[in-house]
């Protein structure tokens, strides 16, 4: 990954986020849920102008690695990713 220039600073900021579901239910065994979640993550990355480097699913959790996100705090990004994916899954299933 190449360092990014933002204003007067130069560097990179990468986050590895792990999202687990309440009661660790095995929701991500369903291909449709995984597809909707990936689409939601991609749309959120586009809206925030960041890059999704990797996304892997376990049966009850998601590993999401994003880069080029120097302008955002970790709590803000977690809120955006979890909120958008949860909203989409609840309304489309």
CA distances in angstroms from 41 to 8, 23, 46, 66, 79, listed in the order given: 29, 22, 9, 10, 12
Does the domain at 11-92 match CATH 3.30.70.1290? Answer given as: yes
Per-block average pLDDT, block size 10, for the chain (93 residues)? 69 90 91 96 96 96 93 93 93 88
Chain Cα centroid distance, residue 67: 10
Give the pLDDT score at 1.
Answer: 63
Rg of the chain on CA atoms, in Å: 14
Q: How far apart are CA 60 and CA 26, in angstroms?
A: 5
């Amino acid at each position: 990954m190449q360092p990014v220039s933002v204003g007067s600073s130069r560097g990179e900021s990468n986050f590895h986020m792990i999202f687990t579901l309440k009661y660790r239910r095995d929701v991500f065994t369903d291909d449709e849920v995984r597809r909707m979640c990936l689409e939601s993550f991609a749309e959120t990355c586009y809206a925030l102008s960041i890059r999704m480097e990797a996304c892997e699913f376990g049966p009850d959790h998601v590993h999401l690695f994003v880069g080029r996100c120097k302008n955002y705090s970790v709590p803000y990004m977690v809120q955006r990713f979890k909120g958008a994916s949860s909203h989409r899954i609840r309304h489309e299933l």
